[in-house]
Chains A and B, each alone.
Chain A
């Protein structure tokens, strides 16, 4: 095994190190700094579509999940401007879909909700769209609720069949875009794949049948600790 070359960059004024080729988001985490993200997931090729992890690299907006660190890079992340834009994105996601947390199996374990908590969104600044969307329960193993889908493409990127074919894909474009499940391949969806789909989904758009509400309130992932605390180094104040 060869040692990866160590390079240096600055994140919010802090001197940080990264392995050459490492994405800003991962390098930040390795240095104990959390950059909010949503469409990104460990183990899946980054896509940079939610734009929440946008940071400024030498003054230019770039997504931290897709931009590799370069020696001497100066990155800003925790700024008022960027945090407000992140908040706006979260609020847009809330109004463009139908997110009824109290009735959602994923509540408490939902990444969208966890970010909203962390950013203290009391109410979206945008008008609720209440789009008419379907809930598709035709598959024997998996419920696909378009109301809750945030179109992050994690299921598309993360779930393939044995031949490497996509089970999930986008359909249409713009605000009419939605996730579709392959009618042929879905028939042979295994419990394992269904579970994987549910785990990959950051929200409650993919739910395994007969699963959900299985962790009591108070014990769910984000009940006590905010999202991001898992990578952050404890500071004196906390």
Chain B
């Protein structure tokens, strides 16, 4: 093991800022990251073991002990539950002979829950040793485990021909489907790589920024900061080295549009990064991709190599002196928070994905302390089209304050889940019609951190001034128990994904979950609802967007579905501490072999 870890260390020149890669590669070699490897890595990087450990223990996909030769990560998103996850879970446990969170006795199979893996349109889905398995059924699960036990390779278990487009290609070979349902200017397959680069070589960086500013495009990740302005700030910032980071860490449950872009239009994305590099004066780009999409690694690396060969990346792009730009791919290791731009930077530097204090903003001091632009995949792709067709052209799409198009990821209770590129200004009703959703009870707009709306608000418009969204829409049918199946699932998600730095985010998420559970258990009183409404605003003082929105599922459902809470609370009392005497004494009665307390023998 020592030699293979050393090889990994050499590969990254023992650079502590590449700790993520070092850990990912070590785990690929060894299967997990044992103590000895931690010590070896620490020594080689000149940092302490706890420093290695603090990065290692932050990310969900790193293992500190043997985690099974075959590691099954089954998505636990709301939509997976809608599509029969419970039965799939049972099938896995029965076939593997161990529970979720455990490894089978022979060390062959490890079963784990994982947050949304970006396959909401083809659930239930799982990653098995980084290979994606979609639309799982108990039958299929039994087949998979049987074949694993029979010694087959995971790659050989995928259903040939199930995947479309590049998914069917040799380098991806996955069952994943793109489900592109509506194409607009960004998803338009009629795209010739290099045209935009050719065009910008005739423009000054300032002119490029001007065009982007003219288009009024705003960040597509969800926060909606004007892209042109971000580029301009970075351009003007002092710094010899500058960076373009592309955020492909789409972790918001229900979002999967970047996965489709990475699969089908990576050239467009790389060109977008190069355009941004030219505009701000950066020579290096990093594409930060969530670990869940590692199945795309060979494909992406291959396209990168091909792009370099075509001189669309590298030195003297398009033959222009001084236009140097290249890209490396950085994988995450399982942490939703890394989709927050400063957490993403920290992670790309090999650290825990904890958001930074601002100011300073990344445009002034970002990756390795240098001026950095962090843009969403879709933003960079749109930038290429803006350069090609002009800012004015782009403004002809969408509304006045929300120009252009938005690629939506639609999933849940509808006939046609998938991705839809629509102009801003679309109403929720339009989307429901388009996706074949019959009489939904609610729509979660913008993922768990967004807004839960009911039918009386389906006429609302997708745009930055009304329903702003990073693009996730989860449609929830009438048959679902909104609080138990949806709101609780989202709340669990935030408890799991908080980085733990800010007190309100770390603690309040847990307290809210407890309150919701109390209400679901029939111990809720009116005060519990009032408490949550009163405490909610304190989340606004958390450092980052995740923390600020982490109790939104509950607050938003109280606001728009208050009757569901009212229906469940006790009307006969104003106080209920949730205390259950019979339950509280059960353990001690068992310990001393005493008859447990019941209604009958509880004589007060």
Contacts and interface: CB of A to CB of B under 8 A. Distances in A.
Interface in A47-96: 47-52, 54, 61, 63, 66-68, 81, 85, 88-89, 92-93, 95-96
Contacts, number: 129
Interface string A132-167: 000000000000000000110000000001010111
Contacts of B510: 96, 129, 175
A169 B56 CA distance: 12
A175 B507 contact: yes
Interface residues of B, number: 42
Chain B CB within 10 Å, residue with most, of A49, A96, A180: A49
B297 to A, nearest CB: 25
23 contacts: A48-B543, A50-B503, A66-B357, A81-B537, A85-B541, A92-B507, A92-B508, A96-B510, A126-B511, A127-B578, A151-B503, A151-B506, A165-B51, A170-B352, A171-B54, A173-B57, A173-B335, A175-B510, A177-B500, A180-B50, A183-B49, A184-B42, A184-B49
A125 interface: yes
B204 interface: no
Contact of B496 (A68, A89, A93, A174): A174
Interface string B536-569: 0110111100000000000000000000000000
A88 B50 contact: no
A232 B527 CA distance: 38
B151 interface: no
Given A168-B50, A169-B53, A174-B509, 7 more contacts: A48-B543, A51-B503, A52-B503, A151-B506, A169-B54, A170-B57, A170-B500
Interface of B: 39, 42, 46-51, 53-54, 57-58, 335, 352, 357, 359, 495-504, 506-511, 514, 531, 535, 537-538, 540-543, 578
B50 A182 contact: yes
Contacts of A81: 537
A215 interface: no
Contacts of A181: 50
Contact of B499 (A47, A150, A174): A174
A224 interface: no
B538 A169 contact: no
A217 interface: no
Given A89-B504, A169-B54, A172-B500, A125 B49 contact: no
A44 interface: no
A101 interface: no
B497 A170 contact: no
Nearest to B59: A173
Given A51-B542, A92-B511, A175-B495, A161 B500 contact: no
Contacts of B503: 49-52, 89, 92-93, 150-151
B501 to A, nearest CB: 5
A47 B503 CA distance: 12
A163 B47 CA distance: 9
Contacts of B47: 165-166
Given A165-B48, A173-B58, A63 B538 contact: no
Nearest to A163: B46
Contacts of A165: 46-48, 51
A185 interface: yes
A16 to B, nearest CB: 19
Contacts of A183: 49-50
A177 B511 CA distance: 16
Nearest to A87: B538
Interface string A24-53: 000000000000000000000011111110
A68 B360 CA distance: 10
Contacts of A92: 503-504, 507-508, 511
B541 A61 contact: yes
A5 interface: no
A176 interface: yes
A171 B511 CA distance: 22
Given A92-B508, A96-B506, A169 B48 contact: yes
